[in-house]
Structure 1
Amino acid sequence: MNVNVNNADTPEAAATPALTGERADLLEALAKQRHFLSFTTRDLTDEQAGQRTTASELCLGGLVKHVTEVERSWADFIVHGPVAMPDFTAMTEADFARRTDGFRMLPGETLAGVLADYAEVARRTDELLATLPDLGADHALPKAPWNEPGVRWSARRVLMHVIAETAQHAGHADIIRESLDGAKSMG
């Protein structure tokens, strides 16, 4: 399958060759999961996007915000290595509490704004992965209680992680949306 990471209606589309092989497969898998996540927010108001519908603290707008930040952080990691991420071993409870705002729609945030930020991050990630010289280039993982010291991830492994994270949260979003108004992404 040939995948062009640029929208066909943009001037950049003509300049960027269609991708094939592994990169096309990985980007297609990520695009599919992004679609499922974004699709769960169709026809919602800002209030609905911020509403909790399950025992979880999660809401649809917050899930999109979280996945946006995850993708942004990991793309920065591909380029800059572990300095692009916090030292999770040094974070306080207050630091972690502030990070929970990434799972909520905050006052003044709109669903349209959250989705636009997600689309921009997706565009940047797609461009990075289309132009990255080597998917095997790797960095040591950032310091975190859940990461073994010395473990390294390649750009390829990072992308697989982002795909998995996006798919997992698309599933969460589907449950939240069904609980909100009965709508489903599939079925």
Structure 2
Amino acid sequence: MTDTKHDSSTDERTDLLQTLAKHRHFLRFTVRDLTDEQAGRRSTASELCLGGLIKHVASTERGWAEFIERGPAAMKDASEMTEADFAARTDGFRMLPGETLEGVLAEYEEVARRTDELVAGLPDLNASHPLPQAPWFEPGARWSARRVLLHLIAETAQHAGHADIIRESLDGAKSMG
């Protein structure tokens, strides 16, 4: 019979951060031993590349950490977004000239460190903010710090899966299978 008691040495915050760390590892693992050129190469019908996925996940995590700290002021309402904002968002999914895999990974590591410190120091995971207006958010919804962390875990895990497919298409290497 399996012991189903909760390990009392961890708490919810620790569990959330450890789960996020696990999925960050899987994402980073997909770029092991790659060159900058390989990290920027599209290998499927998608526009995605491995370096771009890591940039996107880092940017997304940074934005949600800012939301935990500052609320909706950290994000633009969809109605405020300009063509330049959308172009920057598109560039966030690819390796641009002059960007290196080492630099992308270092930025992701820094974002992860800051998020982990923020979450470890939060007085309450229930603290919430209203979401900005956007067609992809339910009108009038609020997200707690806990809900943001769950979203980051899901986002990171989803993109780690995408990255695994891209890596396998590049050179046959698998990360999760």
Structure 1 residue aligned with 2:158: 168
SS in 1 for 2:143: strand
How does 1:15-54 map onto structure 2 within 5 Å?
A: 20-54=10-44
Distance in 2 (CA, whole Å) between partners of 1:175 and 1:118 is: 20
Alignment counterpart, residue 157 of structure 1, candidates 131, 147, 159: 147
Alignment root-mean-square deviation, CA: 1.3
TM-score normalized with structure 1 length: 0.88
1:43 corresponds to which letter in structure 2?
D
Is 88-97 or 109-118 further displaced after alignment?
88-97
Q: Is 1:62 the counterpart of 2:48 in the alignment?
A: no
Structure 1 segments, 4+ long, off by >4 Å, are none
**Could you tell me whether the CA contact under 8 Å between 1:89 and 1:145 is conserved in 2?**
no
SS in 2 for 1:139: strand
Structure 1 residue aligned with 2:75: 85
Structure 1 residue aligned with 2:86: 96
More relative contact order, 1 or 2 (CA 8 Å, 6+ apart): 2
Structure 2: state its 5+ residue gaps. Answer: 1-6
Structure 1: state its 5+ residue gaps. Answer: 3-18
Report the number of matched residues. 171
TM-score normalized with structure 2 length: 0.93
Q: Is 1:109 the counterpart of 2:99 in the alignment?
A: yes
Distance in 2 (CA, whole Å) between partners of 1:50 and 1:107 is: 10
2:151 corresponds to which letter in structure 1?
H
